[in-house]
């Protein structure tokens, strides 16, 4: 069974994209095979597969049928999977910059209890923060 990890680059104030978008990070994902969940897209670019079905069912199936790690990107998809209890780990790659607004790492209205799994200092002042969800009875 795979582990589902929500990992994104984020600013110190918690944004994964500034008010003008996230073009700067797009090149990092070109080589990674992707499954794109969308109800509006008709096609996706190279190295991607479009899925229009039930996000939760597809994620559960992928998790059960895959070994290793499944990386999730995007706050909306991650919040959907978090509400279904499918995210196993959150990784925030904190960059020493404040964007002052934009798209947040955690979607508004999502409430989670998390336990720290560790931190790591990376190049260029980036700090990796790792958390796992805590089940609340």
CATH, residue 124: 3.40.430.10
Tens-place pLDDT, residues 64-77: 998 999 988 888 88
Q: In the numeric block, which tokens belong to residue 120?
A: 């790591």
Domain of 125, in residue numbers: 3-133
Q: Taking the model in full, what pTM does it have?
A: 0.82
Sequence-ordered alpha helix ranges (H) in 41-121: 55-65, 75-83
Q: In the structure, what pLDDT confidence band is assigned to residue 21 with cuts at 50, 70 and 90? A: low
How many Cβ atoms from other residues are within 10 Å of residue 11's Cβ? 21
- Total count of domains within the chain: 1
């Amino acid at each position: 069974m795979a582990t589902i990890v929500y990992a994104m680059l984020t600013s110190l104030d918690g944004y994964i994209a500034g008010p003008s978008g996230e073009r700067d990070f797009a090149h990092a994902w070109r080589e990674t095979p992707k499954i794109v969940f969308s109800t509006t897209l008709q096609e996706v670019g190279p190295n991607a597969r479009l899925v229009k079905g039930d996000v939760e069912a597809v994620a559960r199936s992928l998790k059960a049928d895959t070994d290793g790690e499944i990386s999730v990107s995007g706050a909306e998809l991650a919040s959907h999977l978090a509400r279904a209890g499918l995210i196993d780990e959150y990784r925030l790659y904190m960059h020493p910059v404040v964007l002052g607004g934009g798209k947040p790492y955690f979607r508004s209205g999502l409430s989670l209890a998390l336990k720290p799994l560790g931190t790591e200092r990376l190049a260029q002042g980036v700090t990796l923060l790792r958390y796992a969800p805590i089940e609340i009875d």
